Structure 1
Amino acid sequence: MTSNDVANHPFPLINTPISQLPAGTEPDAFHRCASEMACVHNMVIRGLNSIYLQAQHVADKDVKPFLGYASCFYDLLSVHHKGEEEDLFPQIEKMAGKTGIMDQNVEQHRMFHDGLEEYNAYIRLCLNSPDNYDGGKLVRIIDSFGPALAQHLAAEITTILELAKYGKKMDELEKLFAAWAEKDTRQLSIPGALTWGFFNHDRDFEGGLWKEWPPAPAPLVLIVRHVTYWVHSDWWKFAPCDPSGKMKSKLHAAPQMLE
């Protein structure tokens, strides 16, 4: 991670499997798929950390844009997990020729489901009535599901690596992952959750290993970072990364001692 990563706690970021390979080692399909999944999960973790660290320090005039920013975390994660359960995981099991191999990951979703839904309900309530917002309550809600979520996001990377034991049956795994990612991306609001994801991806992470990720068409990246950004520009001041994908030196609403 970068030395000035202002959103690397309280929930830990995930080292990508590719970054852990010995120098000169060529990553295989499982390393690549698991590493790209880790990048997605790090978006989620970095975003949740930024919400957690700023929740109790938001100025009254900024409550509504902060809640807009916080709502995107739920929107992106919901699409991600629904896509896994309904599309990606069943296709992985079909490819491997063995049912139930992804059940553990689905069960992990259940471990933080209720807390996540409480989070969403509270965000929506406060968006309708910003005067009711209590940063301490939001932090307590995140505390109720954050540890289980972070544990799941890390464990899923190991699950993907372990698919290597199915050998040639998994030859189309990268193609499957690419199709699933494209389908999920199309379900995200471009000025909302999709932009949120870009502003929670640190292009300098792991020495710039992921500076060209995600593998989206250049025009789309340009539009998201510099055009749709302006639709909710007051939201993205709470993001840890700037429009170029560089980590900010500090979070907008976090006190000095937490930076």
Structure 2
Amino acid sequence: MPAPYPLLDMPPGDFSNMFDYQAINMAAAHNAFIQGINAMVAHASTVPPEKVQPFMIFSLAVVDNIHHHHDLEEQYLFPELEKKLGQGALSGNVEEHKEFVPQLLELKEYLEKVKAGEAKYDATLFVEKIHSFSDIMIAHLNHEIPSLESSRMRAVFTEKELKDIDSGFMNLALKKIEFATTMPLSVVCGNPATPWFPPFPLPLKWATRWWFARKYSEAWEFGPLDLYGNPREMPKA
């Protein structure tokens, strides 16, 4: 299993331009997922017994964040975009979800059992379960970006329409997350090359560092960044 997976190259354009934003923002989100998967693999064999529970919280946050993102794509984002792009224009992305989501959920079930004390943590099994879907998922994360390419957006949408879709996506996302896990994870699995992601207001970023991160503070030690966005040295996978 490759470790670490390389991060996606950022698409060309300006993050503040709503036509460019679609692909750029998606690539930044995908890089956060890759950061999380890389960190899980890197730490898998070095987690001491007293840190297994925080590691399960971190790993569940990564898995839940990926699954939550794909649910929102299928339920809201892609249908909204297809109103102008044409029905089925993004169906290839959804079909690819089916190739790895079942295995992702199997990993989640295992993590929950370890967290509940119903299964013993096994680093080899843990990495095998990641390997069962990660290559396919990483390929998908790369494939999805061109489907949101700037010229494709510009051809059929107005800037206001895209802003409204993005606002709707963010509102739904914030309604369905657990702030004590998703918000800190968004920081510690960030990419120093894109410090503007996630595009949360500054007060929310402050609240993440000083409040939301406190409940599971030990879990965020497994992130590739600290809560200030500084890179950490990762164990050799």
TM-score (norm: length of structure 1) = 0.84
Contact 1:41–1:153 (8 Å) recurs in 2:
yes
Contact 2:7–2:31 (8 Å) recurs in 1:
yes
Residue matched to 1:214: 198
Residue matched to 2:98: 110
SS of 2:216's equivalent in the other structure is helix
Q: How does 1:85-124 map onto structure 2 within 5 Å? A: 85-96=74-85, 98-124=86-112
Deviation at residue 27 of structure 1 after TM alignment: 7.9
Q: Note the alpha carbon deviations across 1:120-144, whole angstroms, 9 max, x for none.
A: 0110111111761101101001111
Residue matched to 2:210: 226
Give the Cα–Cα distance (whole angstroms) in 2 for the partners of residues 130 and 150 of structure 1: 30
In the alignment, which of 7, 13, 25 is matched to residue 13 of structure 1?
A: 7
Distance 1:41 1:26, change over 3 A: closer
Q: Note the alpha carbon deviations across 1:203-225, whole angstroms, 9 max, x for none.
A: x31xxxx3233221211100101
Deviation at residue 115 of structure 1 after TM alignment: 1.1
User: What 5-or-longer segments of structure 1 have no aligned partner?
Assistant: 1-7
Q: How does 1:53-132 map onto structure 2 within 5 Å? A: 53-96=42-85, 98-129=86-117, 132=120
Give the Cα–Cα distance (whole angstroms) in 2 for the partners of residues 110 and 79 of structure 1: 14
Contact 1:50–1:240 (8 Å) recurs in 2:
yes
Deviation at residue 166 of structure 1 after TM alignment: 6.1
TM-score (norm: length of structure 2) = 0.91
Distance 1:26 1:82, change over 3 A: closer
Contact 1:119–1:142 (8 Å) recurs in 2:
yes
Give the Cα–Cα distance (whole angstroms) in 1 for the partners of residues 179 and 153 of structure 2: 37
Give the Cα–Cα distance (whole angstroms) in 2 for the partners of residues 219 and 165 of structure 1: 34
Q: Note the alpha carbon deviations across 1:50-87, whole angstroms, 9 max, x for none.
A: 00111111101111110111010121112111100011
RMSD over aligned CA atoms reads 2.1
Identical columns (%):
26
User: What 5-or-longer segments of structure 2 have no aligned partner?
Assistant: none
Distance 1:166 1:81, change over 3 A: closer
Deviation at residue 26 of structure 1 after TM alignment: 9.5
Give the Cα–Cα distance (whole angstroms) in 2 for the partners of residues 26 and 201 of structure 1: 16
In the alignment, which of 17, 35, 46 is matched to residue 24 of structure 2?
A: 35
2:156 is the counterpart of 1:169: yes
Give the Cα–Cα distance (whole angstroms) in 1 for the partners of residues 165 and 229 of structure 2: 27
Q: Which amino acid aligns with 2:89?
A: I
4+ long deviations beyond 4 Å? 25-28
SS of 1:111's equivalent in the other structure is coil
The count of corresponding residues between Structure 1 and Structure 2 is 234
Q: Which amino acid aligns with 2:230?
A: K
Give the Cα–Cα distance (whole angstroms) in 2 for the partners of residues 166 and 67 of structure 1: 39
Residue matched to 2:132: 144
2:164 is the counterpart of 1:186: no
